[in-house]
Amino acid sequence: MRVSRDQARQNRQRVVATSSALFREKGVDGVGISDLMSEAGLTHGGFYKQFGSKAELVEEACALALDDTMAFWDGYLEGAADPRARFIRAYLSQQQRDRVSEGCLLPALAGEARRETPAIRSVFTRAIHAYADRLDQPVDARTAQSRAEALSTLSEMVGAILLARVTDDPQLSNEILKAARDHILGAPPEATSDR
């Protein structure tokens, strides 16, 4: 029954990783300790030897969601001619809209996180800064104006994904994504970039 110290560390990390996906997919209230533990191949009894409370896991899972997605974006944008445009186009794609459990934590969880602990809300503050940094000018060219633009662009991206996900009208959903892309990046020359 017992397991090596290293195996235990891995088990714990697997709980955080599966929670990070399941919380985004089903919401924090939508999955119980049992679900999270058994998804990681464990039983629920061991949970409180690894975490102080569910809220503590939520905090870690949100932080991991942030770090993972940021690592993904930084890799995806590395060496791009226009990283900001590439970022915005990919973020506002149908793929990102549909892959909730691997996507940005802001549209997925910010609505509920508003009511969570200060520690959890501060992860969301970090997330806002992290995303705004990627939308802003290169570090040496930043101004109050460019920062305001970055925040306003982020608001539009997050809002568009949120609305595109909640509507039951698939056509409206795509229309919302396209409107946000075109508005932020300027309309495409032809009907080229609906994908």
Q: Does 54 bind a second copy (CB under 8 A)?
A: no
Quick check: 132 and 147 in contact, CB under 8 A?
A: yes
Q: Which two structure tokens, joined as six digits, stand for 133?
A: 């940094």
Q: Does 54 bind DNA (CB under 7 A)?
A: yes
Q: Does 190 bind a second copy (CB under 8 A)?
A: no
Kind plus residue range of the DSSP H or E element containing 191 = none
**Nearer to DNA (CB atom), residue 50 or residue 167:** 50
Quick check: 26 and 61 in contact, CB under 8 A?
A: no
**Nearer to DNA (CB atom), residue 38 or residue 152:** 38
**Nearer to DNA (CB atom), residue 42 or residue 64:** 42
DSSP assignment string, 150-181: HHHHHHHHHHHHHHHHH-S-HHHHHHHHHHHH
Q: Does 61 bind a second copy (CB under 8 A)?
A: no
Q: Does 47 bind DNA (CB under 7 A)?
A: yes
Least distance in Å: CB of 97 to a second copy? 10
